[in-house]
Amino acid sequence: MNLRFLTIILFLTFQSYALTFKSDGTVVDNDGNLIDQTNQDQSSQNSKGSYNLNFKTNFSIDESYLNNLGDLNNDNIDDFLLSLMVDPSAYGAQFYDIDYETAEQLPRVPSYLVYSSDDGKYSFELLPEETWSKRMWAVEGFKIDDRRFILLGRNGEVGKPEENPGEKIAVIEVNFNKTIPNFVNTFFEEKKTVTAALDTFKSDDGNTYLVISNYNIFSTKPFNVYDSVIYKFDPNDGFSYSNLLPYAKDKNAHNGVRIFDFDNNGQLDFLAAAEIWKTIDFEAKPLSQFPGSYAVLNWLDKNKNLIIRLEPRFEFDHAGFDLNVLDINDQKYFIETSSQFLGHLSKDVFKNSALSIYKMNQVENYGTLNISQTFDLGLIRATQSKTFFYDFDKDGKDEIFINNYLKNRNYFDLIDNTWKEVPLEYSLISNSRNQMITSVLLENKDENCAVLASTYLYQKNKTVKLHISDCL
Ligand SMILES: [Ca+2]
Ligand SMILES: [Ca+2]
Ligand SMILES: [Ca+2]
């Protein structure tokens, strides 16, 4: 099937859903709110030091996503990955209506390593074509000794759940000639999966493990595209199955996973942002006994597991997307983004969006922490919304920042024991039409500042424009 034909089919498929494609290239939802546009506003609102990068492709891009990779080329400035996606659900249409064959026919589209270069600006390099993906937002950079790698969680959701073909996760090894990248090796897992989230950790014996959430609980290998797996990764031999099967909550989709020792007891802990399972019919009956995100202390030692449940902001409609722990003056806070999940066949699959904050206190095993404070993020949905922690006001304690936003980008600051929203002063990509922005915060440790790279989450364009702010 050629692309134009496919586009027409997809277009027709979407007509019956909540969004309308207008002749001027704009897309509006049922309430007439403008969601997207074909012709981007070229006007520039650059302030001193900020600039744009343009990524031209041969594909019509539906979505884009930015992931911080840490400092890969050792100049104390964070590098990042721009991943482009094709996906009907970018426009609110149901990916569930795309069958296996159509999903297989969707093109794989480029990703770019965006790296800090000698001239003090960001440059970019196209990833090897074999690693391009239809749809990828789960990405991480990691190091083994002096070698640098990029882990690509290829293929999020495309197609009906039972027909999603998946893609193989990949690891690219990258060398640098001064700051300029050279992709020297690529490793693939043999089996295709549907990767929602990932993280890496090192064991005490120095081995590197890759934790790949394909939504469901952990399995020894991906028997099914949805089975999550923990791999051991060898820098010379690539992937092998670790056979680690630590606890994860059954009948929940794991949209976000993080593994680190957040209580500083020397044992790795697990943070899971979880989405309730519902029946795939118009009733959308809950299948999860306990909806909500959760943490597991001492994750790799089942005898010492301590499970902390987090009160789900949206109760039996709860879909957590990111969960992290922030430590302020020895008080730890769980920070979660979430949406209300109405059901696969609902007119709006997701609606509403929240940032919820929980004070981590001593809890009994299987105890539930109540929400301490919650904010409405003002997004149509919080899918792929992640949090960053950074000391924006340079007072010695970190604030919370969300990567996705519509009108106001704010950070959340703890002032007199209460979290408050504070406007953020970075220059942004021009957004005269209130498109959904996605961004990534990038630290420059030499200059003790950070830049904000921003672009449109929903693109519908062949040229993707990225705005880099000045370093504040
Ligand atoms: Ca760098
Ligand atoms: Ca721990
Ligand atoms: Ca601060």
The confidence score (pLDDT) of residue 107 equals 86
Choose the weakest-confidence range: 96-110, 117-131, 179-193, 344-358: 96-110
Answer yes or no: is pLDDT of 122 > 80: yes
pLDDT bin (cut points 50, 70, 90) of residue 205 is confident
Instruction: Measure the CA–CA gap between 259 and 200, rounded to whole angstroms.
Output: 7
- The pLDDT of 29-45, averaged and rounded, is 36
- Among the bound ligands, the one closest to the CA of 176: 1
pLDDT in tens, 314-340: 999 999 999 999 999 989 999 999 999
- The pLDDT of 41-48, averaged and rounded, is 45
Residue 138: HSE in the Cβ half-sphere, 13 Å Cα cutoff: 31
Nearest CA among 114, 91, 108 for reference residue 28: 91
Q: What separation in Å is there between the alpha carbon of 174 and the centre of ligand 2?
A: 31
Q: What separation in Å is there between the alpha carbon of 282 and the centre of ligand 1?
A: 48
Answer yes or no: is pLDDT of 38 > 80: no
- The pLDDT of 9-31, averaged and rounded, is 33
Choose the weakest-confidence range: 207-216, 360-369, 458-467: 360-369
pLDDT in tens, 73-102: 999 999 999 999 987 554 444 555 677 777
Q: What separation in Å is there between the alpha carbon of 263 and the centre of ligand 2?
A: 5
Structure tokens, 49: 């030091």
- Among the bound ligands, the one closest to the CA of 414: 3
Q: What separation in Å is there between the alpha carbon of 260 and the centre of ligand 2?
A: 7
Q: What separation in Å is there between the alpha carbon of 52 and the centre of ligand 1?
A: 18
Q: What separation in Å is there between the alpha carbon of 306 and the centre of ligand 2?
A: 10
- Among the bound ligands, the one closest to the CA of 422: 3
The confidence score (pLDDT) of residue 364 equals 61
Nearest CA among 400, 392, 288, 263 for reference residue 336: 400
- Among the bound ligands, the one closest to the CA of 270: 2
- Among the bound ligands, the one closest to the CA of 261: 2
pLDDT in tens, 345-399: 888 889 999 999 999 986 665 679 999 999 999 998 888 999 999 999 999 999 9
- The pLDDT of 109-138, averaged and rounded, is 96
**Across all residues in the chain, what is the average pLDDT?**
87
Q: What separation in Å is there between the alpha carbon of 201 and the centre of ligand 2?
A: 13
Q: What separation in Å is there between the alpha carbon of 147 and the centre of ligand 2?
A: 27
pLDDT bin (cut points 50, 70, 90) of residue 164 is confident
Q: What separation in Å is there between the alpha carbon of 333 and the centre of ligand 2?
A: 15
The confidence score (pLDDT) of residue 296 equals 96
Answer yes or no: is pLDDT of 10 > 50: no
Residue 286 contacts by C-beta under 8 Å, 6 or more apart in sequence?
Answer: 276, 277, 278, 316
Choose the weakest-confidence range: 45-54, 147-156, 371-380, 424-433: 45-54
346 DSSP assignment: S
- Among the bound ligands, the one closest to the CA of 77: 1
Q: What separation in Å is there between the alpha carbon of 203 and the centre of ligand 2?
A: 13
- Among the bound ligands, the one closest to the CA of 201: 2
Instruction: Measure the CA–CA gap between 471 and 80, rounded to whole angstroms.
Output: 16
Q: What separation in Å is there between the alpha carbon of 108 and the centre of ligand 1?
A: 27
Residues with CB under 5 A from ligand 1 (ion): 71, 73, 75, 77, 79, 116
The confidence score (pLDDT) of residue 407 equals 77
The confidence score (pLDDT) of residue 55 equals 96
Query: Strand 387-390's sheet: what is its strand order?
Result: 387-390, 399-402, 410-415, 418-423
Residues with CB under 5 A from ligand 2 (ion): 261, 263, 265, 267, 269
Share of the chain above pLDDT 70, in %: 86
Q: What separation in Å is there between the alpha carbon of 417 and the centre of ligand 3?
A: 14
Instruction: Measure the CA–CA gap between 31 and 34, rounded to whole angstroms.
Output: 9
Q: What separation in Å is there between the alpha carbon of 116 and the centre of ligand 1?
A: 5
Answer yes or no: is pLDDT of 30 > 50: no
The confidence score (pLDDT) of residue 60 equals 87
Q: What separation in Å is there between the alpha carbon of 235 and the centre of ligand 2?
A: 27
pLDDT bin (cut points 50, 70, 90) of residue 460 is confident
Q: What separation in Å is there between the alpha carbon of 84 and the centre of ligand 1?
A: 21
The confidence score (pLDDT) of residue 163 equals 74
pLDDT in tens, 282-319: 999 999 988 999 999 999 999 999 999 999 999 999 99
Output the CA–CA distances (angstroms, integers) from residue 415 to 327, 328, 422, in the order listed. Answer: 15, 12, 10
Q: What separation in Å is there between the alpha carbon of 444 and the centre of ligand 1?
A: 8
pLDDT in tens, 219-247: 999 999 999 999 999 999 999 999 999 99
Q: What separation in Å is there between the alpha carbon of 142 and the centre of ligand 3?
A: 27
pLDDT in tens, 258-279: 999 999 999 999 999 999 999 9
Q: What separation in Å is there between the alpha carbon of 266 and the centre of ligand 2?
A: 6
Answer yes or no: is pLDDT of 25 > 70: no
Answer yes or no: is pLDDT of 9 > 90: no
Answer yes or no: is pLDDT of 4 > 50: no
Q: How many helices (H) and strands (E) does the chain have?
A: 2, 32
How many other C-beta atoms lie within 10 A of the C-beta of residue 421? 13
The confidence score (pLDDT) of residue 298 equals 96
The confidence score (pLDDT) of residue 2 equals 38
Q: What separation in Å is there between the alpha carbon of 71 and the centre of ligand 3?
A: 22
- Among the bound ligands, the one closest to the CA of 266: 2
- Among the bound ligands, the one closest to the CA of 444: 1
Residue whose tokens read 């923990």: 230
- Among the bound ligands, the one closest to the CA of 263: 2
Q: What separation in Å is there between the alpha carbon of 359 and the centre of ligand 3?
A: 18
Q: What separation in Å is there between the alpha carbon of 258 and the centre of ligand 2?
A: 12
* pTM of the model as a whole: 0.88
pLDDT in tens, 418-430: 999 999 999 989 8
